[in-house]
Structure 1
């Protein structure tokens, strides 16, 4: 399991280790420079200390039988004015037989050597030292400097673990508070004592809780309204069933059965509308995909589906303008439901002999928007009630036509899903015109 505390501990210790490595290298380089300066000074002082020594002119003696002292790092060579070597402290040395005055670094088969040569009293004195000695001394100095810090790393890790845990304690308290809440508790989390880094998370959670509260409130209201609306048709069905059972003759029984059939149709229509509205709620149908849709095709399908109903009510149902270029990104099934509800409402509330027109056009203004409108010459809706008729189960009191009060609520829900604007105004025929405006970002291209 991914642990934030463990991740921070590993990250911080890794960063500290990298810093220690860089500091160790810098310490080594600094110590190496100081050792070089000090040892170069010693080479010069060693050479100067030999200026008063007298070395014979005979050839150098043979090498001693015993091995030289290993702890003595210096090699001494002395020549006279004619270039004859008078003395060599380590005959097996791989140093060159000629001297170059001053400080020099010489490459040999045994590695690099630091050499200092100086002419003193008709003699040339050369003192040499392996560079590996200096590197070892510098590394020892750097290591002695860093060892106390390396020993403190476990203590530093424990301190980081404690401090990180202490810093994460507000998040643990927040997690405990969320974990102990009831399922129906959707109040906002306190954000006053939350650290600044965790505040965006708390604010996002509060926003989510607010939206969940709104969704649950809307769901409770929907269930309550649906139960209230279903109670009346179910009670009517029960009464009509009792009347059918008590019918004394065939004529009365047939009339009661007709009323029962009509009541069943109304109840069925109400249930279908409720299911349609539930499917159009945000997030209810995750499988629905938005694809390019030609609005003219949707309008023609709606006209075909409602032609028989319009003929039965003697309504002139047709299309005024169908712009084939009006293409939007939409859910085709949802748009068919929307257009079907608009045409059905227009036919039901338009008196016999009236007309219902469907129009699809593009507004030439910038940015261009596609419109789908349904107009009728019915009684219309007063401006002060046009917002109310979009609410669920709202029906105007003076309208004789029965209905579920969900048609325009379904239309508004589908429009909101598609980011479209729903406009109710007066049609050119004197009735109601319902327009759906798709903005430019919802438009699509179809090959």
Structure 2
């Protein structure tokens, strides 16, 4: 597991060490420049001190080099080039050089040289450059050594300071750990550092969504239990009536009612399972390019027998060639089946149901019928689970449109209810244009009944 404290410690120590080394390098260069200026001055002064010296037998008269100048080498030449004096015979000194300051590489090291002429004689004073570099390096080491020695102490201080800085995260973690399924209160934002506020707000949004999801689940469970209790009680009563039937005719009638009750209970359970599978978080399903025209034709073929039994004219209106979207084909089939099934169920015998697939700022599916429709005041409530209008004479689970809305939201689509040109209800599912699968080359087949 990665530790933020350890990462910050290593990062800060690395930055401090790098900064210290860069400071040492800058100190070394500055010290070297200052040493060069100082020693150049000494070279010149030492050369000037030889102006009045008289050289006899290769030695200056009454002249000695003190201990502080032992790393300096002096040479004196006559005008004809004969060397009169050499202070350090064993050193590999540079040959005669131009007058003034110069830096010479002898092959055994670099030398800084100053030359001048006096009374026809050439005086040259030289110093090895490594002496100057050693002095500058020593100055840089004296500067950086205390920082390097303090690194362990800095590491401990950084560890403590970072730990104190991360305490708000520990407090947030403790606050989150106290939340339960029945207590999802938002985390307090007071006394929280500004850097942690986005995390706290994101957690509060997550807790809010989780609370709504749990509340919806509890309501769904309670509603499902309530809705299933009524048909199960009716089934129990019908079984008792069948047992007490005095003759075969009464028994057959009781079994007929029992069969109808079982069918209604089975339908309710199937709708509940369908709705549960379409809920967010119930598992990701593969998507593919779906030809809505073909899918509508398949659903109409499956519902045709039910429509013919009621004498309803069921068909697909002419659509568009651009009817391909990206989605879950099985879920979309359930959506269309519920819309068409509701239209057939609530349309009186001899009526009409039309299904249209079109393209209007995105692909849409529209189911229109000639039934009684839904009043404007109830058009939003019919999407609630288990809601059934009091005036409705048709039996149902109250889940059909709730399933339609859930599937539509999964596909970033919206559902609108309005008045149809046929006089009944018009249910329109509008898909966003970004859901269109324009890369498909297959042309859907249109079917009319």
TM-score by length of 2: 0.93
Partner Cα distance (2:248, 2:58) in 1: 154
Is 2:45 the partner of 1:49?
A: no
Correspondence for 2:308: 311
Contact 1:60 1:85 (8 Å CA) reproduced: no
Aligned-residue offset at 1:141: 1.0
Match of 1:64 in 2: none
3-state secondary structure, aligned to 1:142: helix
Distance 1:187 1:10 in 2: 37
The residue number in structure 1 matching 2:356 is 359
SS of the residue 2:429 aligns to: strand
Q: Name the counterpart of 1:66.
A: none
Provide the secondary structure at the position in 2 that maps to 1:265.
helix
More deviation in 353-362 or 27-36? 353-362
Report the counterpart of residue 79 of structure 2 in structure 1: 81
Aligned pairs for 1:410-425 within 5 A: 410-425=403-418
- Cα distance in 2 for residues equivalent to 1:331 and 1:163: 53
- What corresponds to 1:398 in structure 2? 391
Superposed, 1:184-203 pairs within 5 Å as 184-203=182-201
User: How many residues get paired?
Assistant: 434
Q: CA deviation at 1:70?
A: 12
The match for 1:177 is 175
Give how far 1:276 is off. 0.8
Whole-angstrom CA distance in 2 between matches of 1:322 and 1:91: 109
For the residues of structure 2 that align with 1:221 and 1:249, how far apart are their CA atoms? 44
Q: What SS does the aligned partner of 2:311 have? A: coil
2:368 corresponds to 1:371: no
In structure 1, distance between residues paired with 2:319 and 2:90? 108
Aligned counterpart, 2:279: 281
Q: What corresponds to 2:332 in structure 1?
A: 335
Q: Distance in 2 between matches of 1:281 and 1:59?
A: 108
**CA-CA distance at 1:322 after TM superposition:** 3.1
Aligned to 2:290: 293
Mapped partners of 2:311, 2:5: distance in 1? 76
Distance 1:336 1:92, change over 3 A: same
Query: Conserved in 2, the CA contact under 8 Å of 1:191 and 1:199?
Result: yes
In structure 2, the residue matched to 1:432 is: 425
In the TM superposition, what are the counterparts of 1:2-401 in structure 2 within 5 Å? 2-56=2-56, 58=57, 72-286=70-284, 288-363=285-360, 368-401=361-394
Quote the Cα distance in structure 2 between the aligned partners of 1:295 and 1:327: 6
8 Å Cα contact 2:21/2:144 also seen in 1: no
Gaps (5+ residues) in structure 1?
Answer: 62-68
Q: Which moved more, 1:157-166 or 1:128-137?
A: 157-166
In the TM superposition, residue 60 of structure 1 has moved relative to its aligned partner by: 7.8
CA-to-aligned-CA distance 1:148-189 (integer Å, 9 cap, x gap): 222222222222111111111111111122223334321100
- Asked if the contact 2:345–2:394 (Cα under 8 Å) also holds between the matched residues in 1, the reply is yes
Which has the higher mean CA deviation after the structures are superposed, 34-43 or 170-179?
A: 170-179
TM-fit CA distance, 1:334: 0.8
CA distance in 2 between counterparts of 1:329 and 1:96 reads 86
CA separation in 2, counterparts of 1:86 and 1:124?
10
Q: CA deviation at 1:408?
A: 1.0
CA contact (8 A) 2:332 2:407 kept: yes
* Alignment check: 8 A CA contact 1:294 1:324 kept: no
Q: Deviations over 1:386-414 (max 9, x none)?
A: 11111111111122111111111111111
RMSD: 1.8
| Whole-Å separation in 2 of the counterparts to 1:148 and 1:259 | 97
| Contact kept? 1:323, 1:360, Cα under 8 Å | yes
Gaps of at least 5 residues in structure 2 are 61-66, 442-449
Deviates more, 1:435-444 or 1:301-310: 435-444
The answer to whether the Cα contact below 8 Å between 2:179 and 2:185 also exists between their aligned partners in 1 is no
Aligned to 2:64: none
- Determine the C-alpha separation between the residues in 1 that align with 2:176 and 2:368: 52
Deviation of residue 289 (structure 1)?
Answer: 2.4
